[in-house]
Amino acid sequence: MKPLSALPLGLYEKAICFSLAWEEKLSLTRDAGYDFLEINIDGEEPRIGRLYDKEAPKDLMRASLNTGVPVLSMALTANRKYPLGSEDAHTRQKGIEVIRRAVDFALTAGIRIIQLAPYCGGSEEPCARAKDRLYASTEACVAYAQEHCVTLTFEVIDTQMMRSIGQIMQLVRELDSPFFQAYADIGNLHAMGVDVAKDLPAGGRHVLGVHIKDSRPLVVRDVPYGEGIVDFDKSFRTLAGMAYGGIFVAEMWCHEDAAFHPYLNKANRFIKRALALY
């Protein structure tokens, strides 16, 4: 297996101002030292509107070809707004529809992996009914993705039901599809008090992607690298011991402030120094 430092390191799209054109975003990604861009589709306009625009994935593919920067993955966080495990049937159906449209988008744009947010909605009730709804909705989405040869993944998130790779693997094993796998986030794992050395190996070769960010207890956003609680050495050492061979993505948020863009280079250097040990 390749050393971790040789694996693709991508950049989360929300680290770049939305107002930039695709070619500008991809060029900035490349110039800051990243290998690819992870597009984000959340539940708000205009991001979710991309899924309803037939020209949007074509525009993205053209920009990728023109810049030489691929878009390997999509962070589909819209299911925070339209949870697959919601009590409301209309909300669940909307969540399924959004994922199906994301699969269609990915197929046209050349995206390989769609990372989903496994929310149940409302109070995130930790009960069997919520879990059953989440599982049933996911099964319908995976069937559609498998028909189109697009891989879906569940990311560990900041809820009790899906805060660990071990919990996600229960569903991965149940659905038993090569087109449904796991996506780790070392920042989320640390924020939720999960021991990465014990949890990450539970995913084995089913872990296709890893979000790299810092965090604090129950704080999963906007913590600068090196200023939180994430043990990067322990995390990367564990991944190396698993012979991890997927993608990495540096997850950051610029909050539409272009003054944040120079930090992308600094973050890249921080991550690559940590990866270089493994």
Among 106-115, 117-126, 183-192, 222-231, the range scoring the smallest mean pLDDT is 117-126
> Domains of the chain (ranges plus CATH)?
4-275 (3.20.20.150)
Cβ of 65: how many Cβ atoms within 10 Å?
12
Query: What confidence category does residue 166 fall into, taking pLDDT thresholds of 50, 70 and 90?
Result: very high
| Angstrom distance (rounded) from CA 100 to CA 106 | 10
Q: Does residue 265 surpass a pLDDT of 80?
A: yes
Averaged pLDDT of the chain: 95
Cis ω before 46 (30° cut-off from 0): yes
Q: First CA to last CA across the chain, in angstroms? A: 11
pLDDT in tens, 63-89: 999 999 999 999 999 999 999 999 999
Q: Is the distance from CB of 28 to CB of 20 less than 8 angstroms? A: yes
Proportion of the chain above pLDDT 70, given as a percent: 97
| Angstrom distance (rounded) from CA 278 to CA 228 | 21
Write down the pLDDT at residue 54.
95
DSSP secondary structure code for residue 79 in this structure: G
| Angstrom distance (rounded) from CA 208 to CA 241 | 15
3-state secondary structure of 191: helix
Mean pLDDT value across residues 88-103: 96
pLDDT in tens, 139-160: 999 999 999 999 999 999 988 8
| Angstrom distance (rounded) from CA 1 to CA 60 | 31
Query: What confidence category does residue 120 fall into, taking pLDDT thresholds of 50, 70 and 90?
Result: confident
Q: Does residue 203 surpass a pLDDT of 60?
A: yes
The identity of residue 24, as a single letter, is: E
Q: With 0.85 as the threshold, say if the pTM is over it.
A: yes
DSSP secondary structure code for residue 136 in this structure: H
Write down the pLDDT at residue 126.
57
pLDDT in tens, 40-68: 999 999 999 999 999 999 999 999 999 99
Query: What confidence category does residue 122 fall into, taking pLDDT thresholds of 50, 70 and 90?
Result: low
Q: Is the distance from CB of 220 to CB of 158 less than 8 angstroms? A: yes
Q: Does residue 125 surpass a pLDDT of 70?
A: no
Contacts (Cβ under 8 Å, ≥6 apart) of 167 = 156, 161
Mean pLDDT value across residues 115-121: 87
pLDDT in tens, 204-220: 999 999 999 999 999 99
